[in-house]
Amino acid sequence: MLVDDDAADVPAIHQVVIALVDLIERIGTGNELVELEVAGLVEAEDLRDVRRRVAVTEQAALHRLPEEGQDRAGKLDRWLGHAAQAGDHRDAVLARHIEGSLDDVLVHDADSDDRGVRTLPAGESRHREQGLAGASKRSDRERAEGAISVVVTGEGRLGAIVALECETDFVAKSADFVRLVDALADGYAREGEPALEAAGAEIDALKVTLKENIAVGRRVRFESEEGAVLDSYLHVQNGRGVKGVLIELQGGTAELAHDIAVHIAFARPEYLSRDEVPADAVAAERATVEAIARNEGKPEAQLEKIIEGRMNGWFKERVLLEQPFAKDEKRTITSVLGAAKIRRFAQVVIGA
């Protein structure tokens, strides 16, 4: 058995790392980077779960590594497919990370051993080269997950939202990933795009370590006017931000700005005012509403009033100033603002 029954006092993730390093070494592809690449990517409720998933990975790896004269990439693809069918979602995620590790440390050439496999030379620069080569192969994978960070700094005058995108939530909530997106948001708030460009090496290093397609996604930066209030809200799930909001308010308080930022995260308006909604979108919706009303057999005399009522409801879903306030739905955002004005707002949502 790969995991020692007597090692219950060792954290489960360390057990997994030890077991996987042992597995890779026993199939002839030992590499010290495996520990770095796997650590933090596997969550286990107990050692029994760890043993089960390691066993699935061991079976898939031992029977699906490339043999002499066979195509390595094809074998690895079949291995991944086997893991996805044989176990649950976590098995598939684990298998994909191990696949990425093997993909970066195995090569074929004339000097390979009797299995057509050799181990790359040790050395940090060589590992980085191979890691980035592997990362480039993953660049077309969908980035449906990620983490968001929101920062207000510069004595309250600079604000930013940055999304760092990846493939799975396991990576998105890992400590290194969350730390990086926090640093990116802080730099972007202070310096703008040059800060993100300067962080390219750190993002590349994370791609190599975490074995996923990782890139900066949507970002927003505000520099407020003198006397304006800049505030933010970050909705956090499982230790990482998934929804970020920035708002700039003129003539209001920080408390009001924050309340409206929270409302925006809840209601997800697309526009500040009705005049920002594209005319073609309004025309298309009006035509649809009219067609529905006619098909329902509504009286011609009441048709225009029915259309207007339904269009008002459509606008309320999309226009911030017309929405019922989340904390008091009897009031609209316009009435809550009073004499204050929203200059602008932005929201970034993972997966949107």
Over the stretch 146-174, which tens digit does the pLDDT of each residue have?
Answer: 999 999 999 999 999 999 999 988 899 99
Find, among 62, 52, 37, the residue nearest to 86 by Cα: 52
- C-alpha 153/C-alpha 189 separation (Å) is 7
- C-alpha 202/C-alpha 181 separation (Å) is 11
pLDDT of amino acid 104: 43
Where residue 137 falls among pLDDT bands split at 50, 70, 90? low
pLDDT of amino acid 134: 53
Where residue 52 falls among pLDDT bands split at 50, 70, 90? low
Q: What percent of the chain has pLDDT over 70?
A: 61
For residue 127, pLDDT beyond 70: no
pLDDT of amino acid 352: 74
- The answer for residues whose C-beta is within 8 angstroms of residue 266's C-beta and 6 or more apart is 326
pLDDT of amino acid 138: 66
pLDDT of amino acid 111: 39
* CATH number for the domain whose boundaries are 145-277+319-349: 3.30.479.20
pLDDT tens for residues 59-111? 444 444 434 334 444 444 444 444 444 444 444 444 455 545 444 433 333 33
Helices (H), 153-276: 169-172, 175-191, 193-198, 200-210, 254-267
- C-alpha 232/C-alpha 265 separation (Å) is 10
| Mean model confidence pLDDT for the chain | 75
- C-alpha 339/C-alpha 330 separation (Å) is 19
**Residues 49-67, mean pLDDT to the nearest whole number:** 46
351 sits in the region (left: phi over 0; alpha: psi -120 to 50; else beta) called left
pLDDT of amino acid 327: 93
DSSP, res 321? G
- The full set of domain ranges for the chain reads 12-137, 145-277+319-349
Where residue 133 falls among pLDDT bands split at 50, 70, 90? low
- C-alpha 307/C-alpha 118 separation (Å) is 71
Q: Is the pTM value of this prediction over 0.75?
A: no
pLDDT tens for residues 276-292? 999 999 999 999 999 99
pLDDT of amino acid 254: 95
Find, among 224, 221, 183, the residue nearest to 203 by Cα: 183
Spacing of C-alpha 10 from chain mean position:
30
**Residues 256-285, mean pLDDT to the nearest whole number:** 96
Q: What percent of the chain has pLDDT over 90?
A: 52
More confident: 110 or 40: 40
pLDDT tens for residues 191-246? 999 999 999 999 988 888 888 899 999 999 999 988 899 999 999 998 999 999 99
For residue 44, pLDDT beyond 50: no
Element containing residue 22 per DSSP (H, E): helix 12-26
pLDDT of amino acid 139: 65
More confident: 341 or 100: 341
- The answer for residues whose C-beta is within 8 angstroms of residue 188's C-beta and 6 or more apart is 151, 160, 162, 195, 196, 219, 221
CB atoms within 10 A of CB 165: 22
